[in-house]
Structure formats: C-alpha cells, structure tokens
Structure 1
Amino acid sequence: MRKNNIQFITRTALIAASYAALTYAFAWMSYEQLQFRVSEILVLFAFIEPKYGLGLILGCVLANLASPLGVIDIVVGSFATLLAIMFIVMVRKLLGYNIKALIIASLGPVVSNALLVGLELTYLFSTPFLLNAFYVAVGEFVVVTLVGTVVVNSIMKNNILIERLSID
C-alpha cells in the first residue's frame, strides 16, 4: 500500500473518530430538536481538505448509532452531512480558499440539516416542519457558521498546520 493510501485511511479514521467522540462527549446537546452538535465544526474541515469528507460522513454514522431516534437518524443525518460536504467543496472550487467562501460554505450544513433533519423530526413526532427546521437551523448556524468559521479561519491562517492537514 502506498504512503498516501495509508495516510488517507488513517486521516479518515481519525476524523470519523473525532466527530463521533465529540458528539458522544456532548451527547446532552447533540441529539435533540434544538441541538448544538459541537462535532459539526469538523464538517468545515472539508473546506480545508475535501478528502476529509468520507471521514466526516463515517463519523456522523458512528455518532448517530447512539441517537435516541434510531436507524432513521443514521440515514437522514448522514445524508444531510453528505449534501453539506458536497456544497462546501463546491463553494471552495467556485469561490476559492478565503474567508468569504468559508462563510458561504458554512451555510450548507445549516440548510441541509434544517431541511432533512427537520423533515425527520416532523415524520417521527408529527410536529410542525417549519418549527423543526428552524430549531435545527439555529443550532447548526451557531455551531458551524458562528463558531466553526472562526475556528477554521484561524486554522487556515496557520500554513504549517494547513500543510500537516493536507492529504497528498
């Protein structure tokens, strides 16, 4: 196996484990209607290195194994993460590697989770979709857009760290 294949597998596993561990550590605020899933900050790592996408999706699957909502949350949450990552990578390709593009990219997870998880909650609990979507969007916006962009922008300014985070 070549060095970059081993590096990819290792980084994918580390990102997946980190996402799941952060979700479990903050489980009390990670699974409800108004959720502040701290691990969602890591989704913006796909802006730094698009190859982290697989690890983020796997991390979401692992994290949602503990969800009180069951298998539906594994499927819906992971699909929302996939869509968010696709949006993040697309924004980076179209707008470049800068803070403005990062902020716009951060809205992908907000929208995908609000719509898909909002629908999931409506299906499971027969509660109003707009209310569910709003609550999910608020949590995602706070964690990903307000906090995540500050964290990831700080990382982006550190060339040594960016070099270490890249997968060759």
Structure 2
Amino acid sequence: MKNLKTKNVAVSIIVSVLYVVLVYAFAPISFHQIQIRIANALIGLVPLLGWPGIYGLTLGVLLGNLSSPLGPIDLLSVLPSFVGLIAVYKLRQVSVILGLQIYSTLISIWVAFMLYLVFNLPYFVTFIYVFVGITIATTGLGYLLHRSAIRFGFKDLLKESVT
C-alpha cells in the first residue's frame, strides 16, 4: 500500500515536471492567441495514468503558467484544467478522443476569455485561433501519445504502479 502511494506521488511529480519543461522549452508557442502548447500532448496519458496523471498535470499547469504573459489571472487556469482532466479520465472507457476534445473546448473557452480580458482581443476570433491550436496539441498529439503508449506497452508497465 505504501509503495503504491509512493509510486503514485512519483508519477505525479514526473508528469508535472515534464509538463513544465515542455511549456518552458516551447514558451514562444505555449501562450497568446495563436498557440500550440506541446505540453498538452501529455493529457493523452491521463486515461492510462489516472489520478496521479490528473494531479501531476494540474500542478504542471500551475507551475507552467507562472511565466505567463497574461499575469496572475493565468494561474486560475488550473481550475478549468482540473475539470477538463477529470472529464478525460471519466470518458476513457467511452472515447479518449471525446474526452480530449472536451478538454480542448473547455480550455479554449477559458483562454479566449482571459485574452479578451487582458488584451481586449475579440472573443470569438480569439476562441477559434486558440481552439485550433489547443486541439492540435491536446486532441491530435495527445491521442497519438496515448495510442503510442499503449502500443509500446506503457499501459502494462503502469498497470501495477498506479490506480
């Protein structure tokens, strides 16, 4: 039991660190109206990682957004991210793509709203730009990562490690 908890915490930390590193490594395309946040591909692992993945990615979003040009308001992004990550996990048996797309839509609504508030950008046009970029990263790359992880046995490797 204790080993399982330790492994879950370790998985959360590793996922969080990976997310933050990817946000900072690809910072020029991780923020603003036109963005493809490569780190969002990790969301494709949520159906395999479960709650440790959700917690790790939520922390990763918080830490990754510390450098956001939007300022402190972007730290609130953890709330819609957490809700979206839960949706991805809950829909894993129905459709991974559907869960990833719901996440993409939810985050696009939020990011477009923040860009409207902070930079006074037109909401609908901003939503479209953000939605396309987030969908590419989250649904496109995320689903590819999900399928690759299954194909290369990542799911079996984690089976006894996380719940």
TM-score between both structures, scaled by the size of structure 1: 0.89
Unpaired segments ≥5 residues, structure 2 = none
Aligned to 1:98: none
Take 2:149 and 2:48, find their aligned partners in 1: how far apart are those partners? 9
Take 1:24 and 1:81, find their aligned partners in 2: how far apart are those partners? 18
How far does residue 49 in structure 1 lie from its aligned partner after superposition?
2.0
Take 2:145 and 2:9, find their aligned partners in 1: how far apart are those partners? 24
Take 1:69 and 1:80, find their aligned partners in 2: how far apart are those partners? 16
For 2:156, the aligned partner's letter is: E
Percent identical residues: 24
For 1:145, the aligned partner's letter is: T
For 1:42, the aligned partner's letter is: L
For 1:140, the aligned partner's letter is: I
Aligned to 1:46: 46
Take 1:19 and 1:165, find their aligned partners in 2: how far apart are those partners? 19
For the pair 1:105 / 2:99, whether they are aligned, the reply is yes
C-alpha contact (below 8 Å) 1:16/1:59 kept by paired residues: yes
- State the SS of the aligned residue for 2:92: helix
Higher-RCO chain (CA-CA 8 Å, sequence separation at least 6): 2
Residue from 150, 155, 164 that aligns with 2:144: 150
Take 1:165 and 1:111, find their aligned partners in 2: how far apart are those partners? 29
Per-residue deviation, residues 110-147 of structure 1 (Å, max 9, x unmatched): 11111111111111122211112111101011112222
How far does residue 157 in structure 1 lie from its aligned partner after superposition?
2.3
For 1:58, the aligned partner's letter is: L
How far does residue 164 in structure 1 lie from its aligned partner after superposition?
2.1
User: How many residues are matched?
Assistant: 160
Unpaired segments ≥5 residues, structure 1 = 96-100
Take 2:158 and 2:67, find their aligned partners in 1: how far apart are those partners? 28
- State the SS of the aligned residue for 1:65: helix
Take 1:131 and 1:86, find their aligned partners in 2: how far apart are those partners? 28
Per-residue deviation, residues 5-27 of structure 1 (Å, max 9, x unmatched): 11111111111100000100001
Take 1:4 and 1:18, find their aligned partners in 2: how far apart are those partners? 21
How far does residue 165 in structure 1 lie from its aligned partner after superposition?
2.9
For 1:109, the aligned partner's letter is: Y
What is the root-mean-square deviation of aligned Cα atoms in Å? 1.5
